[in-house]
């Protein structure tokens, strides 16, 4: 059993209104010195058995199909 974590973030060139809203809230609440916030998603998958390179490639395929939209999002997989 392994835990695979997938981090999904909007590509840098895509506007992130949620992040901008959070940045505005930080300002209003008096938290200073924060120049940018971006919001993304984090997935934790419990995967049976060993995660070798072939299995990781399969999971990358899964992430690109189900978890992320590769047109506007970048994602990263790692085994934890």
What does the binding site for a second copy look like in residue numbers (CB under 8 A)?
1, 7-9, 19, 22, 25-26, 29, 31, 33-49, 58-59, 62, 65-67
Instruction: Tell how far CA 63 is from the center of its chain.
Output: 10
Answer for the pair 8, 73: CB distance below 8 angstroms, yes or no.
yes
**33 vs 71, which CB is nearer to a second copy?**
33
CB 64, min distance to a second copy, A: 12
CA angle 72, 21, 23 (to 5 degrees): 100
| Minimum distance from residue 71 beta carbon to a second copy (Å) | 19
Least CB distance to a second copy at residue 35 (A): 5
C-beta closer to a second copy: residue 35 or 71: 35
In order of 5, 9, 16, 59, 60, the CA distances from 13 in angstroms are: 24, 11, 9, 26, 22
């Amino acid at each position: 059993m392994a835990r695979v974590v997938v981090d999904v973030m909007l590509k840098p060139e895509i506007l992130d209104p949620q992040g901008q809203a959070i940045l505005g809230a930080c300002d209003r609440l008096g938290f200073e010195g924060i120049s940018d916030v971006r919001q993304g998603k984090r997935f934790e998958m419990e995967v049976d058995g060993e995660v070798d390179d072939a299995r990781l490639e399969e999971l990358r395929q899964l992430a690109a199909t189900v978890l992320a939209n590769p047109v506007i999002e970048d994602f990263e997989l790692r085994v934890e």
